[in-house]
Structure 1
Amino acid sequence: MVLEALIEERGVRRAGERIGLSQSATSHALDRLRKLLGDEILVRTTTGMEPTARALSLAGPLRIALQSIQTALTPERFVPEEAQGEIQIAVETHETIIILPQLVDEMRTEAPLLSLTVRPGSVDDILVGIDQGRTDIGIGFFRGLPDRFMTCRLLGDSHVCVMRADHPLAAAPLTLESYLQAPHLLVSMSGASDDLVDSALADRNLRRSIAMRLPHGLAAVIALTRSDMVTTVTRGAARVFAQSGRLVAMELPFAVPRVEFRLIWNRRLQQSPQHRWLRQKLVAIGAAAEASSASEQAA
């Protein structure tokens, strides 16, 4: 959609590149939109091109209307290898690194014409994105959702403490005292200042010392391998971290409730063949990841 591309890219050239139009064709499209809507759509400011308030107010409803039309016109039979378009996934947590690489591999094999965009966000950001049609599906911790959202379980996992292999604390089982004294790294894609681990500690009137907060797992791996910081993540994420650097996982000296990741989407996409295919794909990948984690723990 031209309007959406102009709003998000903040420029005619970039918007044209995104939707496959020349700069000239995109400029003409912008002129037609300005005449049709009686609004400038994009205006030049000291920081660059910015969308007007009217353009922002129209983008969400138009996107939802187009999405509804596309769903209505989509054949009941979904053929992945012929499907075209873009899938938009919003994630609240870095633990999706155990899910998304496998999804990418399977999409490239089964649906090579579909593209995938993944965006981080808080719960509120994800809900707004789904409401506005910018997000097809969200992944994270979701509780007490409004009725307009559908949800299903993706996978469950437990937590472990991760540190570099030659860390001073790696030579013996962790004690609660040594865990609390260590400098901690918190990985949060949503920008949250704490997580389930902090809640579990707070229940015991305890608190860990957060030395650094990072938004992404790869940055966390680099920081952990170069410092005496530790981090507490799910077992699945710990396995990926260990594959990327000389890191080890240690059992926690206190209990943290098992975490459950969920998928959420809007009810209007419930019957979409493409969306059903995506949900089934994600659930199958999640189930396989959870079974693999259980097998490793039992071994």
Structure 2
Amino acid sequence: MTIDHVDLSRVDLNLLVALDALLTERSVTRAAARVGLGQSAMSSTLARLRSLFGDELLTRAPDGMRPTPRALALAEPVRSALRQIQALVRRDDSFDPRTVERVFTIGLPDSTEVLLGPKLLAYLRAEAPGISLLLRSIDRIRILQELDADRVDLGIGLFSEGQSHHKQRLLYRDSYVCLLNADLLGIAPPISLDDYLRFPHVLTSLRETAHGVVDDALAKLGLSRTLAVTTPRFLAVPFLVRSAPVIATMHARLAHVFAGTLGLTVSPVPVSLEDVSFSMLWHASYDNDPAHTWLRRTLVRLAADADPRP
């Protein structure tokens, strides 16, 4: 489409900055603080935006301000346009990880934080001390909404495909193993299927359901297991396993970390389970952001080295 320069010159592009802030915060007061304006100035800007788009954009609701359907349709194109403008005016060759100052918000489960967090933090303190991290626990369903709202810079975990503006890159693949206290169970690896079913299990489920991939695999064999406890926290698992005669089936990399730290035993799983793929997920508008690109490349490199398995 040909650009109408005369028509476009009549539009104050700062209005789009304000619109993005308003749709992100859904509050005139918070949006004003986000862009460095006074509340009255932001109210006037909202009035101008309503005139420009011929729509109320935001209406009052009991829980704050609610975007109209027109505003919701504008949110992603406006944010994408602003990110592209920002990428244009930034000088890529000026990026230096040793001097840049930036906070990255990363959504990831605690299991991935245990594996990658220490290595990433150590590397940043040595190579990019001005970069700090805000790590948040987030699930695979909310991550897309958080990326679109620019509340998260990067997601790490087990993700299905997002929309066309969500980019994904594999970090590493992992298998499943059993984690157990061999002394309490009185058995040694490799654990048999009979023993696997004889002892109760610990299940980690972020979906708050007492059912997992192991249960699906056993059901195909006409078998089932007994669950002793279900928890959403991976970090609790090794302490539960260390204290009671139970078995946990979990990702191999994490299990080996726990086994080496707490003196537990790792064994192959006596049922067939498919490997899993851990990926990074980000918004496409950050594709060419120098700092974001550098962080993604760093994570790929560190993930390749973060395998404690013998």
TM-score, reference length from structure 1: 0.75
Larger radius of gyration: 2
RMSD of aligned residue pairs (Cα, Å): 3.8
Amino acid across the alignment from 2:302: I
Shift of residue 63, structure 1, vs aligned partner = 6.3
For the residue of structure 1 that corresponds to 2:98, the secondary structure is helix
Q: Which moved more, 1:108-117 or 1:141-150?
A: 141-150
SS of corresponding position for 1:145 = coil
Alpha carbons of structure 1 residues 200 and 93: separation in structure 2 relative to 1, 3 Å: farther
- Deviation at 1:103? 1.1
Matches within 5 A, 1:119-130: 119-130=136-147
Distance 1:30 1:60 in 2: 21
Any conservation in 1 of the 2:111–2:235 contact (CA below 8 Å)?
no
Decide whether the 8 Å contact of 2:110 with 2:234 is kept in 1.
Answer: no
Describe the shift of the 1:102–1:234 C-alpha distance in structure 2 as closer, same or farther (beyond 3 A).
Answer: same
CA shift, 1:7, in A, is 5.1
Return the offset for 1:125: 0.6
Secondary structure in 1 matching 2:291: helix
SS of equivalent to 1:166: helix
| TM-aligned CA deviation for residue 92 of structure 1 | 4.9
Instruction: Pick one of 73, 76, 86 that aligns with 2:92.
Output: 76
Deviates more, 1:206-215 or 1:256-265: 206-215
Cα distance per residue 1:229-273 (max 9 Å; x no partner): 321112210122124423221221122122221122222211221
Change (3 A) 1:275 1:198: farther
Shift of 1:121: 2.2
Q: Distance in 2 between matches of 1:281 and 1:254?
A: 35
The answer to whether structure 1 residue 246 and structure 2 residue 263 are counterparts is: yes
Aligned residue runs from structure 1 range 60-209, under 5 A: 67-77=83-93, 78-92=95-109, 94-171=111-188, 173-189=190-206, 191=208, 193-209=210-226
Q: Residue 152 of structure 2: SS of its match in structure 1?
A: coil
Q: Which amino acid aligns with 2:143?
A: I
2-side partners of 1:219 and 1:29: how far apart?
47
Per-residue deviation, 1:274: 1.2
Structure 2 residue aligned with 1:221: 238
SS in 2 for 1:263: strand
**Contact 2:189–2:266 (CA under 8 A) maintained in structure 1:** no
Indicate which of 283, 290, 295 corresponds to 2:300. 283
Deviates more, 1:91-100 or 1:29-38: 29-38
Structure 1 residue 151 displacement after superposition: 1.6
- Aligned pair in 2 of structure 1 residues 129, 254: CA closer, same or farther (>3 Å)? same
Instruction: Call closer, same or farther: CA 1:249–1:159 in 2, change over 3 Å.
Output: same
* Separation of aligned partners in 2, 1:190 and 1:30: 41
Alignment-mate amino acid for residue 53 of structure 1: R
Following superposition, the deviation at residue 79 of structure 1 comes to 0.8
Gaps of 5+ in 2: 1-16, 48-55
Q: d(CA) in 1 for partners of 2:75 and 2:244? A: 45
Post-superposition offset of 1:107: 1.3
* Identity rate, percent: 27
CA contact (8 A) 1:159 1:256 kept: yes
What SS is found at the alignment partner of 1:225? helix
Instruction: Identify which of 66, 80, 85 aligns with 1:53.
Output: 66
In the TM superposition, 1:20-39 aligns within 5 A as 29=38, 33=42, 36-37=45-46
**Deviation of 1:189 (Å):** 4.2
Task: Determine if contact 2:105/2:154 at 8 Å carries over to the other structure.
Answer: yes
Matched letter for residue 87 of structure 2? T
Alpha carbons 2:176, 2:250 under 8 Å: kept: yes
What is the distance in 1 between the residues matched to 2:207 and 2:118? 20
Ranges in structure 1 where 5+ consecutive residues have no aligned partner: 20-25
The whole-number CA distance in structure 1 between the counterparts of 2:298 and 2:217 is 32
* Change in CA separation of 1:231 and 1:132 when aligned onto 2, cut-off 3 Å: same
Which residue of structure 2 aligns with residue 23 of structure 1?
Answer: none
